[in-house]
């Protein structure tokens, strides 16, 4: 993980001025009244956060949120738009459709779509499944699904955290609905999307160092534990319902 850390610190150094936000970034820091659409066709835009950068403190700090949303996610979108400009016919499809059918994406941009399209869709979900004063025990259908598939919430949380801690290098840890309709905890490398494996992501945590290093340094386990305090179970319930429809 030392290489990833050096890369992160290099990016941080070159982007220090980004924390003095310009008017565009200030607009992104305002709560959004509209749900972002990660699958929007045409020119893809950076979705606004549904809360302010500092809203998830003390569990996730404002500096990390500014850097994570305003730099990393924005870069994925910039790269994805540039790739799709080379093949405008693909803009009639959603990003999710492209990720589900990567083999149909022209080879010259396939890796870019995989990495940056995945980064866009993954992060668009990530922002929505968190909220200020969130967390606590799951409620509704997701609570029942967790009990049915993992015995209880404590066992699910433990297994999820262990998978996230054990993910070597950069990647994500997920709760997905698999192709055969079961719920499973899995991980993916880099910005790979579960959609590309035929699975539907119900919830996921970003375990790239840029998601936690400013506050937690190399203590990924501490970050994973803290993250449960900002979960938006209402949004996760919506994604569970969407997973059933997608199947």
Instruction: Kindly list the domain boundaries of the chain, sorted by start residue.
Output: 2-53+60-128, 140-246
Is 56's pLDDT higher than 50? Answer: yes
How many separate helices (H) and strands (E) can be counted in the chain? 12, 3
Is 158's pLDDT higher than 90? Answer: yes
Is 36's pLDDT higher than 50? Answer: no
Which segment of 33-37, 173-177, 230-234 scores lowest on mean pLDDT? 33-37
Give the integer Cα–Cα distance in Å for 19 and 42: 29
pLDDT of amino acid 198:
95
Q: With pLDDT > 70 as the criterion, what percentage of the chain qualifies? A: 83
In CATH, which superfamily holds the domain spanning 2-53+60-128?
Answer: Fe,Mn superoxide dismutase (SOD) domain (1.10.287.990)
Give the helix ranges, DSSP H, for the chain: 2-14, 23-29, 62-67, 74-85, 95-100, 107-112, 118-128, 140-150, 153-166, 213-216, 220-227, 233-246
- Region 79-92: mean pLDDT is 96
pLDDT of amino acid 245:
82
The hierarchical CATH code for the domain 140-246 is 3.55.40.20
**Residue 171 β-bridge partners:** 189
| CA dihedral over 239, 242, 244, 247, signed as positive or negative | negative
pLDDT of amino acid 42:
73
pLDDT of amino acid 11:
43
Is 34's pLDDT higher than 60? Answer: no
**Nearest-10 Cα torsion for 111, 116, 117, 118:** 90
Which segment of 24-38, 67-81, 118-132 scores lowest on mean pLDDT? 24-38
- pLDDT band of residue 14 (cuts 50, 70, 90) is very low
Give the integer Cα–Cα distance in Å for 152 and 143: 9
Is 102's pLDDT higher than 90? Answer: yes
């Amino acid at each position: 993980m030392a290489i990833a850390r050096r890369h992160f610190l290099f990016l941080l150094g070159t982007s220090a001025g980004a924390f003095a936000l310009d008017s565009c970034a200030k607009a992104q820091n305002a709560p959004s009244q509209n749900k972002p659409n990660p699958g929007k066709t045409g020119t893809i835009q950076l979705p606004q956060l549904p809360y302010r950068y500092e809203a998830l403190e003390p569990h996730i700090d404002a500096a990390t949120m500014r850097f994570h949303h305003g730099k990393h996610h924005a870069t994925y979108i910039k790269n994805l738009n540039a790739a799709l400009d080379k093949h405008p016919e693909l803009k009639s499809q959603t990003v999710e459709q492209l990720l589900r059918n990567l083999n149909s994406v022209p080879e010259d941009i396939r890796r870019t779509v995989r990495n940056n399209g995945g980064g866009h869709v993954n992060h668009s979900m990530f922002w929505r499944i968190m909220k200020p004063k969130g967390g606590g025990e799951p409620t509704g259908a997701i609570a029942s699904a967790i009990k049915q598939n993992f015995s209880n919430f404590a066992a699910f949380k433990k297994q999820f955290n262990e998978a996230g801690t054990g993910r070597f290098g950069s990647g994500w840890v997920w709760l997905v609905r698999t192709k055969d309709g079961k719920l499973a905890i899995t991980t993916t490398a880099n910005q790979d999307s579960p959609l590309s494996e035929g699975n539907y992501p119900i919830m996921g945590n970003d375990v790239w160092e840029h998601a936690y290093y400013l506050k937690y340094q190399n203590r990924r386990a501490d970050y994973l534990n803290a993250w449960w305090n900002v979960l938006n179970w209402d949004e996760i319930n919506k994604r569970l319902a969407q997973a059933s429809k997608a199947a």
